[in-house]
Amino acid sequence: MTTTLVTPRYRRFLGAGRELWVQYAVLGLLALLVLAPVVPTLYQSVLDRPLYEAGGILTADNYVRLFTDAGFGTVILNTALFAVGTTALTLLIAVPMAIAVVRTKLPGARLFAAAMQWPFFISSLILGFGWITLYGPAGFVSTQVRSWIGTVPWNLYSIPGMAVTEAVALAPIAYVFCANALRQSDASLESAAQVCGAGPLRILFSVIVPMLRPPMVYSSILVFSMSVETLSVPLLYGQPVGIPVFSTFLYSNGLQSINPDYGILGAASALILLVTVGLVALQAKLLKDAQRFVSVRGKATRPRRLDLGWINWVSIVAITFYVIFGALLPIGGLIFRSFTLIFTPLQSPFKTLTGANYERIFTFDAYTRSITNSLIIAAVGAVLVSALSLLAVIVARRSTFKYRRAVEYLALAPQAMPGLIIGIGLFWAFAYAPFGAGSLIQGTLVALIIGFGLRALPSGFGSIAPSIMQLGAELDNAARVSGADWVRTFTRILGRLMVPAFAGAMILTFVTMLKEYSPAIFLGSADSNILGTTMLELWVQGNTGSVAALATIQIAITAVFVGVAGLLMRGHHDA
């Protein structure tokens, strides 16, 4: 006979099991990270002098000044025009595209659906550079058109120009929402319409288009809030010709004036935060309602594809036009630009093929360092953010912790925090931090990892959360009943089973953080330059060749990383 076993007993610290300490630690860390940029910003917005100077007095004066003499009215108007234009154009591109790809007989639909992933690899900053290289006042295509018809019928450096570029960059987001809704929808409705003798076009407008209303509403809100906070395109197009929007207003007030007015900066940031938080909350609520609606409808049948005849050909041409002129040519042109001295149709660029653009980068230590800095931030940040996301997901979805909803909201909150404001807010937080702890971090890579990591946290959480819902709760229950406490269930069972999701989150956050730059505008220093800030610096100096080279390097790193990681993941999966 075997010996008798003792029932497991777990130590309690101060009357609480260790899981409670872990759960409170996760909550505390998330709260600290999220509140660090927000609280100083709100506080600064009602303070009469810089946060770190003694003797500040509470006042509403900053808001009064913002609306009376800072030219903020124009900024609001421009931002509204830009955001509305972007949203409308985004829908105009995305909705017909989703219908064409998902619901009509379109050759190459699979290939095209995959191509819609491109913004994952390419930052909007690089897209902006690419567009200017081709369609800017001195761009390749503009010059060519001018030589044909004597004038350029468009102006990129305008609010419509900004909106078109931003819409091209954001269209894939709206596309994904609409395409998913169309895939899930019930084909029997259409079959019913067909039986009643409705033609394909009729079915399209009476059955399919109304179905798209919910995804159109919430992707519009998402796109709107993203264009309110975006910095790249307004900075590249609007700033040189004096069209300020929210983000460039913060940029120039905080960075370019010699003596920044922190009160105005704080008040403007607080207002923008209010807008983005409101929009994201609204969008999240609508999305949740919509999902409830979908799940109630139950099993999805395979959608039927309509044959629209000549309209099919129109959609093929439109889609090809979008992919080629929106993304492929600008990015290709930018890459090509990195290998030439002069890029204009007036003289064959092949004559001036050169490696000089790359040489410059690799001879100057500051530029090379920006590449290694970006890599370090993305690599370290990806590990840290994915680990924190995993913990947050487990606490939020697999615990009985009293504040588990708060953990989820905190992890998703940075969605509503523009990168610039995270930068400004953390900058103030470090300046204000007790015991001079902040000054140790200020301007270092650590500061950037915190800022970028915060931005990437919602993607990390969002990519891990669905995987845990695939693991039955009975797996944890079995572990608990057989003697493992919550922490042990995590280390022995859930943690192990989440390894693939964790790896997926690492890839996603690595790429996200490699593309990120806006928090670094306030948090960075000469020593902690990264790809994005260096590109901006070189751009302002007019060094477009080297900008193109750095952009090419960033794209190449992303492509290699994603390729290798994909292979590793697949190998692991097969084993």
Q: Give residues in contact with other proteins (CB under 8 A).
A: 2-10, 17, 400, 472, 474-475, 477-485, 488, 492-493, 496-497
- Name the minimum Å distance from CB 403 to other proteins: 17
CB of 363 or CB of 400, closer to other proteins: 400
Q: For residue 214, give the amino acid letter.
A: P
Find where tokens 């975006």 sit. 230
- Name the minimum Å distance from CB 410 to other proteins: 24
- Name the minimum Å distance from CB 465 to other proteins: 20
- Name the minimum Å distance from CB 502 to other proteins: 14
CB of 483 or CB of 563, closer to other proteins: 483
Distance CA 367, CA 545 (A): 13
CB of 129 or CB of 490, closer to other proteins: 490
CB of 5 or CB of 54, closer to other proteins: 5
Q: Tell me whether residue 32 is exposed, middle or buried, using C-beta atoms within 10 angstroms of its C-beta: 0 to 12, 13 to 18, 19 or more.
A: exposed
Phi, psi of 456 (to 5 degrees): -85, -15
Cα-based angle 411, 417, 420 (whole degrees, multiple of 5): 135
- Name the minimum Å distance from CB 476 to other proteins: 9
3-state secondary structure of 118: helix
Token pair of 419 as six digits: 């990168």
- Name the minimum Å distance from CB 363 to other proteins: 50
- Name the minimum Å distance from CB 2 to other proteins: 5
Task: Give which of 467, 535, 548, 459 is closest to 500, Cα–Cα.
Answer: 467
CB of 134 or CB of 498, closer to other proteins: 498
- Name the minimum Å distance from CB 479 to other proteins: 7
CB of 466 or CB of 483, closer to other proteins: 483
Task: Give which of 116, 156, 119, 151 is closest to 135, Cα–Cα.
Answer: 156
Question: How do the residues of the chain divide into helix, strand and coil, expressed in percent and rounded to 5?
Answer: 75, 0, 20
Asked if 72 contacts 275 with a C-beta cutoff of 8 angstroms, the reply is: no
CB of 257 or CB of 491, closer to other proteins: 491
State the SS3 of 269-286: HHHHHHHHHHHHHHHHHH
CB of 242 or CB of 472, closer to other proteins: 472
Asked if 249 contacts 231 with a C-beta cutoff of 8 angstroms, the reply is: no
CB of 485 or CB of 537, closer to other proteins: 485
Q: For residue 424, give the amino acid letter.
A: I
Distance CA 42, CA 262 (A): 11
CB of 259 or CB of 400, closer to other proteins: 400
Taken in order 260, 262, 265, 269, is the CA torsion positive or negative? Answer: positive
CA distances from 308 to 195, 201, 202, 204, 213 (A): 17, 7, 10, 9, 21
Asked if 89 contacts 163 with a C-beta cutoff of 8 angstroms, the reply is: yes
- Name the minimum Å distance from CB 475 to other proteins: 5
Distance CA 264, CA 253 (A): 8
- Name the minimum Å distance from CB 399 to other proteins: 12
Distance CA 405, CA 27 (A): 10
Task: Give which of 411, 406, 525 is closest to 460, Cα–Cα.
Answer: 411
In 106-186, where does DSSP find H-type helix?
A: 109-115, 124-135, 140-149, 159-184
CB of 202 or CB of 492, closer to other proteins: 492
Distance CA 255, CA 234 (A): 16
Asked if 333 contacts 340 with a C-beta cutoff of 8 angstroms, the reply is: no
Distance CA 506, CA 564 (A): 13
Distance CA 538, CA 553 (A): 15
- Name the minimum Å distance from CB 404 to other proteins: 15
Find where tokens 């922490």 sit. 487
CB of 7 or CB of 295, closer to other proteins: 7
- Name the minimum Å distance from CB 112 to other proteins: 35
CB of 110 or CB of 492, closer to other proteins: 492
- Name the minimum Å distance from CB 160 to other proteins: 52
Residue 341 carries which DSSP code? S
